[in-house]
Amino acid sequence: MVSIGSVLICILGSVLLVFYLQYVLCMKNGIFLRGIKFVFIGIIAILIRMLIPINFSFTVNVLIKRILPDLALLIYKPLGGIEVFHIVLLIWGMGTIWKICKYIRQNYKFHRLLKQYQSAGQREDTYVQGILKKMGLEQISVVTLPIKISPSITGLFKPVLILPNQKYSDIDLNYIIKHEAEHYKNHDLWLKTIIQITECVYWWNPFIYLLKKKFYLAMELSNDMVVIQNTDDFEKMEYAECLVRVSRMNLDEKIRGNEIPFFSEKHDLAVRIKGITNVVERKRRASLQSLAFNLTTVILITFVCYVFALEPYRESEKVEQETITISEDNGYFVKSNKGYDLYVDEKYLTTLQNIEETLKDLAVYSEGETIKK
């Protein structure tokens, strides 16, 4: 069942992934040259875990003594006959349903839009289809839209290559098609759908939005490396130039930005170009140590997310049944000849000679005095 612990471990998973991907994107990490697919598989396993935020039979509860017990008291407090936790789950569920419906509606609208522009014998489309045929990807249809957009690919079951009606050179067109075809061959659309669904479920978690951005960038970087493998250094730079050219063609107006670091992650394209130039200038190497480190990190995060849950500390049921908690809300003393009679929940418990330090907050009444409730 869903508990605070299972939800917390899923949140922790998203936080850890954000930091991990940040590291991978910033460092001259050779993982994009080799082994990134295994890393992506691990990330998808973590995302699937996040989509099932329940405790499994093998889940090990890690009991947290600070903050969580107080949070649990608040969450499990009844409010008009319903626990706050159930109200939170209801709001969560409603938000998720709304987001998923919106996502499905957007997809439907988008594919309806594409159908109107299904290709019909334009020069580029025939040329493009010829290239796709040579690559053995005839199943990918082509749509040209009369607007300034980035070339893209969509369609989980019926793939569609979307091109703007720009005049690309044959070299650029070849790189564009190769890049998009690699996305299709690597099932990147499925990866994107899984992370999008995870975002719909965790709509309230700010880390999921960060995770999505970083994952998409990592996916593009990985794809760039696939496109440029088995090419010489000049062809690698030609591909980099193609990316910049395509971006420039879509620019509507000249915008001068503020002074920010050039290779800041704010500019995904800059990060990708840096990735390519690092390969060309041999700053990025596919070492075994890099592969081992990355795989270990992802396996560790996956293991933690699946096996553990962060639960608030509480006494075991047996202990709770055999013990009572005395506080000023339920206990008081009545002074008698023998000492101090201790009453808990208005029932006599025992007589103490002296009031212990731990019970000094309890009220003390004289015999015959009215007990204040």
Partner 1 sequence: MKNLSDRQLEVMNILWEQKGPMIASQILDADCELNINTVQCVLKGLIKKEYIEVASIVYSGTVLARSYQAVISKEEYLQNLYSECAGLSGSENALVALIKQEKDIKVLDELEKTISEVKERLKGRKL
Note the residues at the interface with partner 1 (CB under 8 A): 102-103, 106-107, 109-110, 113, 145-156, 162, 176, 179-180, 183, 188-189, 192-193, 196, 199, 212, 216-217, 219-220, 233-234, 237, 240-241, 243-244, 246-248, 250-251, 254-257, 262, 267-270, 273, 277, 280-281
Nearer Cβ to partner 1, position 106 or 336? 106
Closest separation in Å from C-beta 73 to partner 1: 37
Closest separation in Å from C-beta 286 to partner 1: 20
Closest separation in Å from C-beta 66 to partner 1: 37
Nearer Cβ to partner 1, position 118 or 247? 247
Nearer Cβ to partner 1, position 103 or 207? 103
Nearer Cβ to partner 1, position 243 or 305? 243
Distance CA 188, CA 216 (A): 9
Distance CA 140, CA 129 (A): 8
User: What's the order of all strands across the beta sheet hosting 363-365?
Assistant: 347-352, 340-344, 331-335, 363-365
Nearer Cβ to partner 1, position 179 or 284? 179
> Across-strand partners of 308?
60
Contacts of residue 370, Cβ cutoff 8 Å, sequence gap at least 6:
none
Nearer Cβ to partner 1, position 178 or 335? 178
User: Nearest 5°: CA angle at 177, between 171 and 179?
Assistant: 100
Closest separation in Å from C-beta 183 to partner 1: 5
Closest separation in Å from C-beta 346 to partner 1: 59
Closest separation in Å from C-beta 54 to partner 1: 26
Give Dmax (Cα) for the chain: 107
Neighbours of 8 (CB within 10 A): 20
Distance CA 37, CA 31 (A): 9
Cα separations in angstroms, 65 against 5, 72, 109, 123, 310 = 13, 11, 50, 68, 10
Nearer Cβ to partner 1, position 68 or 143? 143
Distance CA 22, CA 329 (A): 50
Closest separation in Å from C-beta 188 to partner 1: 5
Cα atoms found within 13 Å of the Cα of residue 280, Cβ hemisphere only: 18
